[in-house]
Amino acid sequence: MLSTVPLNGLDRLSSRRLATRCGAFLAATFLFLCAAAQPITAENRPTDTPPATAATASAGLPRLRYPVALAAADKGKLLLAANERSGTVSIVDIPGRKVIGEFPVGKHLWDLVAVPGVENAASEAFLCADSAADELKLLFRRGNEIVVGDSLSVGSFPVSVCVDSEGRRGYVASLWSRRLTRVDLVRDGTGTIHLKAASVVALPFPPRLQTLTPDGKRLIVAGAFGGEVAVVDPAASKLEAVKTIPGQNIHGLAWSRNGERLFVAQQTLNRLGYTSQEDLHWGSVVSNVVRSLDRHALEQPNVDVLAGSQVFQLGEVANGAGDPAALAVADDGTLLVALAGVGEVAWGPFETGHFRRLAVGIRPTALLSSDDRHSLYVADTFGDTIAIISRSAFETPAKAKGIVQIALGSQPPLSAADRGERLFFDARLGLEKWMSCHSCHPDGHSSDALSDTLGDGSFGAAKRIPALGGVAETGPWAWNGSIKDLGEQIRKSLQTTLRTKSVTDAQVNDLTAYLQTLKPAPPLNVMPSGADKSAIERGHAVFARHKCDRCHVPPTFTSPRLYDVGLRDELGNRQFNPPSLRGVGQRAAFFHDGRATSLRDVFAVHRHPGNTQLSDADLADLIAFLRSV
Amino acid sequence: MWVRQRRIVGWVGLALMGWLASHCSSAQCADAVGLAKPVEARKARSIGDQQKQVEEVARRIFAITDVVLDHHIEPATRQEMILTGLRSACAAKKISLPELGRRVSDLKTVDDLAGLLKELWPQLTHGGKPSPTDVEQAIFEGLLRPVPGSPYILPAKEARVQAQLQANRYIGIGIALASAEKKIDLPQIKHVQPGGPAALGGLKVGDLIEQINKNRIEPGSPLRATVDQLRGPEGTEVTIRVRQPDSKESRKITLTRLPVMFKSVKCDATNGDEDRVVLVNKKPAIAYLKIDSVTASTARELASWEPRFREAKVQGLILDLRGTGTREGFDNYHSALLLADSLVDSKPLGQLRTRESVREFSADRECLFRDLPLAVLIDKYTNGPASWVAAVLQDSDPPEQKRRRAIVVGVFGGGDNFIRSAFPLPSGDELIMPSAVWQRPTAGTSPQRKVRLYSWDPGANESYGWNEGHVTATAHREGVLPDAYVSYYAESRDDFQNVEFDQSTDAVPARANLRDPPRQLPRSKGASRDTSRKFDAFEDVAIIELQQQLDLAAKKQ
């Protein structure tokens, strides 16, 4: 599909923007601009009818692909897209502006990186993570084809891959098993490459993104949900430091050109802000930012990670920049950020932090600068398209003709859950586009941060954000158990947390259908690492002996009633509905206000419930059991 | 009028225009504003009507005292309130009623009160002067007098506007009105908010309003009525006919009511609406920002200055919190908490104490101007919310620590530590009163502080400069004691009445210099003041203090 999307250029300052909005005599002009600048959204995009396409029919049957990672091939003539939903890799002919092939390589793909040092005219190698098969895949491009060269089992839910500059070592971060696997790329005499697991680094948090420092001496691994950042010595496979930056949802990492600063695209959530109209409007609840960290402060174990750090706001008042999802640095130092929740790309010089924005699709989640630096490629996950933005579009946004969009193939009609998924990740649903459901429930999980919503009926007592895996089975909802119907809870969250202007029944139904598909986080203790089976059994006995199962009733490990277990919130509420314990080992904070930050503290410090005393041995066993739930 | 009188300084847009109308102008609009809606039909009131009116007054007294008893942080007793209310009515009538105290203390129910009022009413209203309405007003005015924290009743219409102001989402066209001189006597535009619909639509300061929609404005008609016609919901239109005073030619302009933003952070005390970085000192580069009031937008507005300061290579920042109490209606404590949180890195923010609970707050790691030392200017017009911010900044380092996040500069701060909330009354009006108190992070520890005392010294050889002395000072009531006390500023010894200095009192007010403002700027070592700026003693001391902070920082490196 060749189409153009007009610019959504924005005024530099919020006040100017407001000023523009205020003029009655400007209203007509403004409306015109609005209409012209309307981004493609889930609503106005004709998803049921396959978009006209310039690609060949080889794109195949209508299906959902969901590209999430991009890699350049054949000296920039080709672009590869790893598709999460379809498990395929699409090949885009850049000069021809069309898809020339699509190849099944796995189940659910995440990340795609080129392996340096093996390319020749006809062949290149790539590494790709398959989160459903729990495998790292070595792919070869031969001409216009992709073949799987080798596969290697890694920890549960691999999500990102990193390769050193020689193409000898790769690193795979596995989210739910919280591990980093070093993989050696072994060349045999025939020139073939094999994958060989070399070592594993256990991480104290679920990881997502990773990046090697420019000198290759350190590997930085960021948390999937919260703000943890691990510093790993890749040669020794040693975890050197774990630091925490404020906020959550780290979805972009990139080094400055001089390699002295690491840019982090993420979100912050202020627990002191209320999800009221005014606090949301003024950006006092959720902010979408790029944080610039000093490399030395990051790497040195005993230095404050925020020393010398800076924060750049991506959004502005009345025009939030929901859900930054990818970050790239152009060779002139310009920062480029995919704003997945609003379907835009933001760009600006990092010195000033003045970002301009361009509408590119439904949910852009991956960016790649072309080899010749003249273009930026953007993967629109829900749109199943690749957008090519020419450099001139950024340099003279007012004159830009637009963006070329290449459809990876046609899409079938969406199911209710598919539509719900789009809504879940859509920050346009939230007041002034500050946030989506995903902002606080990343991928349906939780950052375990606190948020002061009306979920508990009032402002003033911030509550821990619940994970949504298995949520359909764990009613009633809200900490005070006041909501008996999931749809009602979704409607309430939209109305009083996101402050959606008008919530339709269709939206609620679709979101309900999507939430019903979310599964609880897998337990830590049944990971391939294996766990002490007997400890889990003993822990189960402790769980039963202390009658934990009266409130946390298996199989959902919750129950519909309210209990007073000696906890009190700031407003004096004492009765809470017990949260489900499924996947509890994957959580970073516990109780309604996150007062405990480890399972051990739940019992050792807070003596939950009431004033329970546990022996050290029982405690260790109980934790082993909970991690297996 | 028994609605609390407020000090209004200058304009504050259409919103405050309402206040100007209701508080400062003539009695003609008093009825529209009075909280207790006086019972209508005053003429030839029958005995039955009078009975009903008295019962209604009793009910309203109970409703108000109920709200106070239920929610006020330090409520007076119901009997105290009723007694003061009745005494106020007696004072208005210039009579005294024997045994009133005992009779009031026997009251239990609203019927008891109605009975007492019915008995007293003839004496209070005898002869028709003051009118029953005035008696009523006197009672209600007295009712809240014994209640701490200056509670007041906000008419329903104003309550909505106040909520909009606190959210900095005022809906309107963005003008401030006042009555023009008697000769013309039409509402006149005194201020046009930059960027607002009125400004963009071409309304000008001085314009006289002749007509709103289809209603001609009669000369001398209440300002209040004009305001009501101009206000309306977001997105609605209003057509106004105006003319300049010296012109016969009218202009007709249609405007859409939209959110009007009032900047709460300004780059300068005057003409501060621009976005330019004001450097009050060039080397080191020290920037200045004035916080007019602490609203929902303040933290975000400050954040917008961060990249500009980075570009201008600013090394220190003066945050001017003086006079924040002069823009009533804007400030609120939730915003103060958000602002304080945005200025410190994981430090305690103090406590909020209600009748039921004590809530402790602490800041997250997110922090604006992380690498800039701050100087916070306060004076006796700094209000409660701004004082909380200053206190949090002051408490973010131990008192003995030399290098500090922020230095508080000025004189003993104003404002109380009550947190006021709005409570709805059955009439639809709101009772604004303290429902909580804030306590600074170091509350409960010694109120003594080491203070650097700056007094102005013209010097023997004409080398103007600051005399700096170190004293220990104690604050006698809640409020913020500056780290650097600018005694030069003190207008009189009264300015020191809440502070006790442990050393010879002579060192304190430096009265000799009060009437001798410097004609030249101080020539401190290495000073590079912006000499085009009007001399400001607070600012000058702040620069000296920031310079010392930067020297300390340089030494450490």
Is the per-residue pLDDT at A54 higher than 70?
Answer: no
| Structure-token pair, residue B170 | 């005022």
Looking at residue B122, its pLDDT comes to 86
Where does the pLDDT of residue B184 fall: very low under 50, low under 70, confident under 90, or very high at 90 and above? confident
Report chain A's terminal Cα–Cα distance, integer Å: 47
Looking at residue A45, its pLDDT comes to 39
Burial B21-53 (b: 16+ CB within 10 A, else e): bbbebeeebbebbbbbbebeeeeeeeeeebeeb
Q: How far is A526 from chain B (nearest CA, A)?
A: 35
B355 in reach of chain A (CB within 8 A)? no
Interchain CB contacts (distance < 8 Å): A and B: 113
Give B545: exposed, middle or buried? Use CB within 10 Å, 0-12, 13-18, 19+: buried
Scanning B236-295 for CB atoms below 8 A from A yields 237, 254-256, 258-261, 263, 275
Where does the pLDDT of residue B364 fall: very low under 50, low under 70, confident under 90, or very high at 90 and above? very high
Looking at residue A10, its pLDDT comes to 30
Of A59 and B165, more confident: B165
Q: Given A19, A271, A282, which is nearest B297 (Cβ)? A: A282
Is the per-residue pLDDT at B125 higher than 50?
Answer: yes
B359 in reach of chain A (CB within 8 A)? yes
Task: Calculate mean pLDDT across residues B414-424.
Answer: 87
B171 in reach of chain A (CB within 8 A)? no
Is the per-residue pLDDT at B467 higher than 80?
Answer: no
Looking at residue B497, its pLDDT comes to 67
Task: Calculate mean pLDDT across residues A41-48.
Answer: 38
Q: How far is A12 from chain B (nearest CA, A)?
A: 11
Contact B310 A570 (CB under 8 A): no
Structure confidence by residue, pLDDT tens digits, B277-329: 999 999 899 999 999 989 999 999 999 999 999 999 999 999 999 988 766 66
Structure confidence by residue, pLDDT tens digits, A486-495: 999 999 999 9
Q: How far is A247 from chain B (nearest CA, A)?
A: 9
Looking at residue B533, its pLDDT comes to 81
User: Which residues lie below 8 Å from residue B534, measured CB to CB, with a gap of 6+?
Assistant: none
Looking at residue B27, its pLDDT comes to 26
Is the per-residue pLDDT at B463 higher than 70?
Answer: no
Contact B366 A246 (CB under 8 A): yes
Scanning B449-488 for CB atoms below 8 A from A yields none
| Low-confidence winner among A179-183, A582-586, B45-49, B124-128 (lowest mean pLDDT) | B45-49
Specify the 3-state DSSP secondary structure of A606: coil
B415 in reach of chain A (CB within 8 A)? no
Structure confidence by residue, pLDDT tens digits, A267-300: 999 999 999 988 999 999 999 999 999 999 999 9
| Low-confidence winner among A30-44, A356-370, B283-297, B404-418 (lowest mean pLDDT) | A30-44
Contacts of B310 in chain A (CB under 8 A): 310, 351-353
A136 within 8 A of A195, measured Cβ to Cβ: yes
Give the whole-angstrom CA distance, residue A425 versus residue A439.
8
Task: Calculate mean pLDDT across residues A216-231.
Answer: 96
Best to test chain A binding among B166, B240, B365 (most A CBs inside 10 Å): B365
Looking at residue B496, its pLDDT comes to 64
Of B11 and B141, more confident: B141
Contacts of A284 in chain B (CB under 8 A): 296, 299-300, 338
Residues above pLDDT 70, as percent of chain A: 87
| Structure-token pair, residue B385 | 């919310």
Task: Calculate mean pLDDT across residues B335-352.
Answer: 96
Give the whole-angstrom CA distance, residue A236 versus residue A542.
39
Of A255 and A33, more confident: A255
Task: Calculate mean pLDDT across residues B100-126.
Answer: 90
Looking at residue B21, its pLDDT comes to 34
Give the whole-angstrom CA distance, residue A251 versus residue A265.
6
Is the per-residue pLDDT at A50 higher than 90?
Answer: no
**The A324-329 sheet, strands edge to edge:** A324-329, A334-339, A344-349, A356-359
Is the per-residue pLDDT at A21 higher than 60?
Answer: no
Where does the pLDDT of residue A132 fall: very low under 50, low under 70, confident under 90, or very high at 90 and above? very high
Which of A272, A227, A590 shows the shortest CA–CA distance to B363? A272
Q: What is the mean pLDDT of chain B?
A: 82
Give the whole-angstrom CA distance, residue B160 versus residue B155.
9
pTM for the full predicted model: 0.87
CA angle, residues A31, A33, A36, in degrees to nearest 5: 110
Is the per-residue pLDDT at B20 higher than 50?
Answer: no
Contacts of B254 in chain A (CB under 8 A): 24
Contact A570 B359 (CB under 8 A): yes
Q: Given B199, B258, B311, which is nearest A21 (Cβ)? A: B258
| Structure-token pair, residue A20 | 């523009």
Contact A15 B306 (CB under 8 A): no
User: Within a 10 A sphere around the Cβ of B534, how many other Cβ atoms?
Assistant: 7
Structure confidence by residue, pLDDT tens digits, B544-557: 999 999 999 998 87
CA angle, residues B279, B280, B285, in degrees to nearest 5: 55
| Low-confidence winner among A357-371, B19-33, B174-188, B525-539 (lowest mean pLDDT) | B19-33
B55 within 8 A of B417, measured Cβ to Cβ: no
Task: Calculate mean pLDDT across residues B33-47.
Answer: 43
Minimum Cα–Cα distance from B167: chain A residue: A278
Is the per-residue pLDDT at B405 higher than 50?
Answer: yes
Q: What is the mean pLDDT of chain A?
A: 86
Is the per-residue pLDDT at A4 higher than 60?
Answer: no
User: Within a 10 A sphere around the Cβ of B205, how many other Cβ atoms?
Assistant: 13
Contact A272 B341 (CB under 8 A): yes
Query: Which secondary-structure segment (H or E) carries A386?
Result: strand A385-390
Give the whole-angstrom CA distance, residue B159 versus residue B170.
12
Residues facing A310 on adjacent strands: A292
Looking at residue B31, its pLDDT comes to 25
Of B33 and B393, more confident: B393
Structure confidence by residue, pLDDT tens digits, A440-461: 999 999 988 999 998 888 888 8
Looking at residue B458, its pLDDT comes to 56
ipTM above 0.95, yes or no: no
Looking at residue A398, its pLDDT comes to 57
Of B449 and B8, more confident: B449
